[in-house]
Amino acid sequence: MPNTPNVEDAKPPGHDPGVAPGDDLGRRSSAAPITALYVHVPFCQTLCGYCDFFSVLTDKTQFAPLVDALLAELDGVRTQGPVAIETIFVGGGTPTTLPPSDLERLVRRLHEFALATRRGRAADLEFTVEANPATVTQRSAEILAAAGVTRVSIGAQSFDPSELRVLDRIHHPQQVADTLRICRSAGLTHLNLDLIFGIPGQSLESWRANLLRALELGPEHLSCYGLTYEPGTPLHERRAAGMVRKVDDETEAAMYEATIRTLADAGLRQYEISNFARPGCECRHNLVYWRNLPYLAIGPSGSGNVDGVRYKNIADVAEYIRAIRDKRSPRVHTERPTLEQQIRETLLMGLRLNDGVDRAAFRARFGRDPVEMLREVIERCETLGVVACDDRSLRLTDRGRLIADAVIAELA
Ligand code: SF4
């Protein structure tokens, strides 16, 4: 399942030619340390028809070279600018397709790296690895736990075999329960399940059954995304060819409302449009994205945001490995968003959070108050009951969250 939450969505439209491709963190000037690190492992056992993240079929010959390259790119980060890692997220792709020896050397080094940047302090490090149910073994779970991984995000997507087939998922629903059991027995206690609603052929009842089955398994965190038909994906083509039918908007809205209600009743607080957690189990790494704060990213297609510069690595495993081996920058794109773009993105991302945009933090960062800036449109949205604000924050209401895209577009 997608992992770098909406990094692409957050990408600003402009490009500042003043930042040359290949610029790297060696030129950093900011004193504020970067706290988040994303690591992309693009291998998957099969490719899902709806996926538009950079993923490729597993190639055994590239496992070790990719991990070598990731660790070499990481070494480059070590020498550049202030970094004090609080969260690591290894996503993909399916990181748990790596064989045990490569998985172990990757997660161990990432953990060492994080500790080195925070003077050995291990407490409070959030270390997430994404996993697919068909790929987690007792051995791999133990490797993750021993290396300091604190969170596993499991791509369940559905508990209905026919829905999984529509998504091209290769696991059986029972393997989700097995994966949670294996993780817990290895000592991995913070578990997330990804679920998808609006799958072609899915009814409201079937979605409710999925939610209830997920809750039976007792995850600490649930991410529930509406299925999207991204241009260029096989699922998009199947829809265009009439092979699958999109669930109608009304049913999809009812599914989303059922999600919020069912999970709230079960004690999972919604803290972002698609994310729900038991108190204290929110994903701190993803909060960095939603607050539009800086983060590092390594690996093929990795997209980072450092010192006001966004960068993207090459989305090609062999080329990425070659670039690192040849001591060339793997970056193929850098851009420096204007202040206006940063403001817009910070609003756009922050409004996804139930806590909304923190006015004091926004003022400290941009020297402007978001409510003053948008007074007219906020008043209009307040009248409609879709936005609320007070001295502390600007945020969507429950009603506004149901039509979040439209409200955020209006505001941002
Ligand atoms: S498992 Fe499927 S959805 Fe997840 S990254 Fe791989 S291809 Fe994409």
- Give burial (CB, 10 Å; 0-12/13-18/19+) of 88: buried
- 266/362 same-domain check: no
CATH of the domain at 385: 1.10.10
Q: Are residues 152 and 37 in the same domain?
A: yes
Taking 50 as the threshold, does the pLDDT of residue 2 lie above it?
no
Query: Which pLDDT band holds residue 32 (cuts at 50, 70, 90)?
Result: confident
Residue 295 belongs to some domain of the structure: no
Q: Which atom of ligand 1 is nearest to the CA of 50?
A: 3
- The answer to whether the peptide bond before residue 93 is cis (omega within 30 degrees of 0) is yes
Q: Token digits for 316?
A: 């090609």
- The model's pTM is 0.91
Same domain membership, residue 406 and residue 266: no
Q: Is residue 321 part of a domain?
A: no
- Both 156 and 281 in one domain: the answer is yes
Handedness of CA 311, 315, 317, 323 (dihedral sign): negative
**Domain presence at residue 4:** no
Concatenated DSSP letters of 233-265: SHHHHHHHTTSS-PPPHHHHHHHHHHHHHHHHH
Provide the residue range defining the domain that includes 243. Answer: 25-290
Residue nearest ligand 1's atom 4 by CA: 1
| Domain contains 261 | yes
SS3 192: strand
Cα–Cα distance measured from residue 26 to residue 129, given in angstroms and rounded to the nearest whole number: 28
Calculate how far, in angstroms, residue 273's C-alpha sits from the geometric centre of ligand 1: 21
In-domain check, residue 110: yes
Residue 339 lies in a domain: no
Number of domains in the chain: 2
Q: In degrees to the nearest 10, what's the CA dihedral of 243, 249, 250, 252?
A: 80
Residues 248 and 374 in one domain: no
Q: Which of 240, 271, 290 is the last residue of a domain?
A: 290
Shortest-distance Cα residue to atom 5 of ligand 1:
93
Q: 151 with 223: CB under 8 angstroms?
A: no
For residue 43, being part of any structural domain is answered with: yes
Q: Give 85-131 pLDDT, tens digit per residue.
A: 999 999 999 999 999 999 999 999 999 999 999 888 888 999 999 99
261, 290, 319 — which closes off a domain? 290
CB within 8 Å of 323: residues ≥ 6 apart: 314, 329, 330
Q: Taking CB atoms and a 6 Å cutoff, what residues make up the pocket around ligand 1?
A: 1, 44, 47-48, 51, 53, 55, 92-94, 132, 155
307-334 pLDDT, tens digit each:
889 999 999 999 999 999 999 999 999 9
What gap in Å lies between CA 207 and CA 196, rounded to an integer?
Answer: 9
Query: What pLDDT score does 123 carry?
Result: 87
> Is the predicted pLDDT of residue 23 greater than 60, yes or no?
no
Mean pLDDT of all residues in 150-179? 97
- Cα gap 54→342, rounded to integer Å: 25
Q: How far is the CA of 165 from the centre of ligand 1 (A)?
A: 13
Which whole number is the average pLDDT over 185-209?
97
Choice from 48, 96, 195 to test ligand 1 binding pocket (greatest atom count within 8 A of CB):
48
Confidence band (pLDDT; 50, 70, 90) for 411?
A: confident
3-state secondary structure of 88: strand
Please say if the pLDDT value at position 9 is more than 90: no
- For residue 45, give the DSSP letter: S
The two structure tokens encoding residue 365:
């960062």
Query: Do 98 and 181 share a structural domain?
Result: yes
Closest protein CA for atom 7 of ligand 1: 47
